[in-house]
Amino acid sequence: MQTLKKTLLLLVLLTATWACTATKTETEKTEVATMDQLAERYVKTLLKLGQYDSDIVDAYYGPEEWKPTGEPADTLPADEFLTEFKAIQQQLNLQDTTNLPADEKRRVAMFKKQIIAAITKVEMMQGKKYGFDEEARLLYDAVPPHYELSHFEAILSDIDKQLPGKGSITERWDAYRAKFEIPKARLDTVFRAAIAEARTRTKAHYTLPEQENFKLEFVTDKAWSGYNYYKGKGYSLIQINTDFPIYIERAVDLASHEGYPGHHVFNVLLEQNLVDKKGWKEYSIYPLFSPQSLIAEGSANYGIEVAFPAGDRMKFEKEVLFPLAGLNASEADRYYTILEKIGQLDFAGNEAARLYLDGKITREQAADMLVKYNLYPKDKALQRTRFMDKYRSYVINYNLGKQLVRNYIEGNGGTENNPDKRWELFGELLSNPNTASMLK
């Protein structure tokens, strides 16, 4: 009888231990499934939201069956979208990240920032107004700095001394710059050479899918100068806008920004490392109005310098691109010195956008600011205000994004005199969850 009691007690203990283990295993499975479920709900909801604004979904390379079927409602069902996004947000806030590996913690942190942006975008579509800085913080996880116009006046004074001719700075810059315009008949040849070189330099450092490729098109009547439409599986459509003259420096700029190691490579690495390898389906969609864009645009702009350090770039352009464009390279050094100074005026565009979008100046006044402080021709300045209308505080992603990426890469040792480290850090940045506040 004692033996039987001991046997029964042992069975009870074993059953209890098995039950605890089974419960723990089921809990772990539920936690993983919860993140996957949230990712699926998030992607499907964004795809539906994209039916009401074609700019919302910049790229999607997830399951085909997740795409919405049928026609959207005649009016935006904002409350339905807000309810769903806030429900996802609530579940994300319940995630226990205490014992998660570092990459999983970053996944949750980035997801939370993305969902804040999604909620904000729906509210804006519903008619809610945000000030420029608050909108930038909610959508892109960054608040742009403020500059007094006197800061730019000092830079303009320096440029003024370097420009030949008579007239205003803008007029003299237009006249001088005309010598560096790529003839339209040579655009395709010059851009293909620039992209090929950028691609070669990038592939020397990163392993990209064997089938990765792109299609290059020249288009008109756009609010932007270049655009990358990532299609998934390592393939992109790169479009270049020819509404305005395209100058020689833009070949390398756009080849790197839109292609290698910019947007094309960013999307390839996200798909390869986060979607395919880790199964993080929230990265199968790229929502344009989100913190991901600050990293995308900032890295694409900084990536120009990663692929083409100043000395290398000048050598390549003088020896290859200038001859292909039929341009005289004798003035190249002076031209690029002035361009570097003009680049220091970038944040003036943010000041114009803030004042314009906050209703403090008119479109015409914003265009005049761009003419004066960014040396835009008037017609291009007006085109830029169209960009502000369409994309609003998105403008901060190019210059502030570049600044934050530069500070992060170079602050961790990826300086120009340590190019291998710079490529390494840049690749890690593109391949992992990152948002502006994570780079500080």
111 and 187 fall within a common domain: no
Q: Which residue has the tokens 């209890």?
A: 16
Q: What is the pTM of this model?
A: 0.90
**What is residue 238's three-state secondary structure?**
strand
115 and 259 fall within a common domain: no
Is residue 113 within 8 Å of residue 141, measured between CB atoms? yes
Number of domains in the chain: 2
How far apart, in whole angstroms, are the C-alpha atoms of residue 259 and residue 383? 24
Q: Give 327-358 pLDDT, tens digit per residue.
A: 999 999 999 999 999 999 999 999 999 999 99
Residue 3 class from Cβ within 10 Å (0-12 exposed, 13-18 middle, 19+ buried)?
Answer: exposed
Q: Which of 140, 160, 192 is the last residue of a domain?
A: 140
Structure token digits, residue 108: 């949750």
Measuring CA to CA, which residue among 202, 103, 268 is closest to residue 423?
202
Is residue 160 within 8 Å of residue 169, measured between CB atoms? yes
Q: Give 10-25 pLDDT, tens digit per residue.
A: 433 434 444 443 333 3
Which residue type is seen at 313? R
Q: What is the pLDDT of residue 440?
A: 75
Task: Cite the DSSP H helix spans in 256-317.
Answer: 263-270, 291-307, 310-316
Is residue 132 predicted with pLDDT exceeding 90? yes
Q: Give 237-267 pLDDT, tens digit per residue.
A: 999 999 999 999 999 999 999 999 999 999 9
Which residue type is seen at 230? Y
Q: Which of 76, 105, 140 is the last residue of a domain?
A: 140
Structure token digits, residue 275: 């979607």
132 and 191 fall within a common domain: no
Following DSSP, what letter does each residue of 80-125 receive, concatenated?
Answer: HHHHHHHHHHHHHHT---TTS-HHHHHHHHHHHHHHHHHHHHHHHH
214 and 105 fall within a common domain: no
Q: Give 52-69 pLDDT, tens digit per residue.
A: 999 999 999 999 999 999
431 and 358 fall within a common domain: yes
91 and 163 fall within a common domain: no
Domain span at residue 212 reads 149-438
Q: Which of 119, 140, 161 is the last residue of a domain?
A: 140
